Amino acid sequence: MIYIYALSLLFVFSDCIRRNAGAKRTGTGLLVVVILLQLCHLVLRTWTEGHLPIFTAYDFLFLFSFSLVLTALVMGRFRNSEFAVLLLGIVGFAVAVLNRFWFQAGDTPLGSGWYMVHGLLVLHITLANLSFAALTVAAVFAVMYLFLHRRLKRKKWNDTVRRLPSLELMDKYSYHAMLIGTPLLAVSVIVAVLSIIAENKWALLLDLKVWATVAALGVYIFYLVFKRYRNRSGLNMAKWTLIAYAFIILNFVVNTWSAFHHWAWG
């Protein structure tokens, strides 16, 4: 699957460098093959283990990669979306490669005392994964915004620039992706706190992961408030989007030292 994924990105990249309808169709077709293989892998693991595989770091990253491929395919239906599809594909591919060499698929059961809130944990992880995907889309459009802004400022107009959406449209896409991702992240945090309270594990409210997630959520809320009530330039907002996304990446790394997530990383 990794090799098919890489081949699909080569065709997408070829279309981005020089308009090529054949390469675009081939790349899209290969992405469809990738998502079908991922879906088959997910179904087989669910059948083998008797439940949806969701509680390990491997599973989280696998579902995240699956979400990005699906999003890339949906966005491919819109005009001037070639570079967004390429960037989302690159992120998804990097995650898939990381997952293959860093983690291993396996059924890691929940730790003692978490069975009572099994449903809450499933909801928490699902919402966190979806929010991560939405915020990645926002970061991708922020990168594209900065690239186009720099090219226009230097008056370097070429075919690549012509195939990008306008600055206003990219700012809009990034903002709406955050409008989706931020509430999902907020609800995910609330569900996690409810699961801790339900199990009377009050000490975990002081867990590094909990506070890191709250900090990341605060950064995104700060962005949305400034975007809504302050007349900030799109350039500043794009930079802030990438800063906020860096917090999300850091937040995932914190899982390694999290007592709340030890059942997923142990």
Question: Are 193 and 125 spatial neighbours (Cβ–Cβ below 8 Å)?
Answer: no
DSSP assigned state of 8: H
Which stretches of the chain are DSSP H helices? 2-17, 21-49, 57-75, 82-102, 118-153, 159-162, 167-198, 208-229, 234-253, 262-265
- Flag whether pLDDT at 116 surpasses 70: no
Average pLDDT of the segment spanning 15-26: 83
Between 100 and 185, residue with greater pLDDT: 185
- Flag whether pLDDT at 266 surpasses 50: no
Nearest-angstrom CA–CA distance, 103 and 100: 6
Token pair of 68, please? 């990005």
- Flag whether pLDDT at 189 surpasses 90: no
Question: Are 70 and 31 spatial neighbours (Cβ–Cβ below 8 Å)?
Answer: no
Nearest-angstrom CA–CA distance, 161 and 157: 6
The pLDDT assigned to 108 comes to 55
- Flag whether pLDDT at 216 surpasses 70: yes
Average pLDDT of the segment spanning 98-123: 65
Token pair of 8, please? 């699909």
Torsion (CA) 46, 48, 51, 52 in degrees, nearest 10: -20
The pLDDT assigned to 259 comes to 55
The pLDDT assigned to 111 comes to 47
Q: Which residues contact 33 (CB under 8 A, 6 or more apart)?
A: 4, 8
- Flag whether pLDDT at 107 surpasses 90: no
Average pLDDT of the segment spanning 123-145: 92
Neighbour-count burial of 228, counting CB atoms closer than 10 A to its CB (0-12 exposed, 13-18 middle, 19+ buried):
exposed
pLDDT level of residue 265 (50, 70, 90 thresholds)? very low
- Flag whether pLDDT at 58 surpasses 90: no
- Flag whether pLDDT at 232 surpasses 80: no
Question: Are 111 and 263 spatial neighbours (Cβ–Cβ below 8 Å)?
Answer: yes
User: CB count, 10 Å around CB of 4?
Assistant: 13
The pLDDT assigned to 112 comes to 44
The pLDDT assigned to 173 comes to 92
Average pLDDT of the segment spanning 116-138: 85
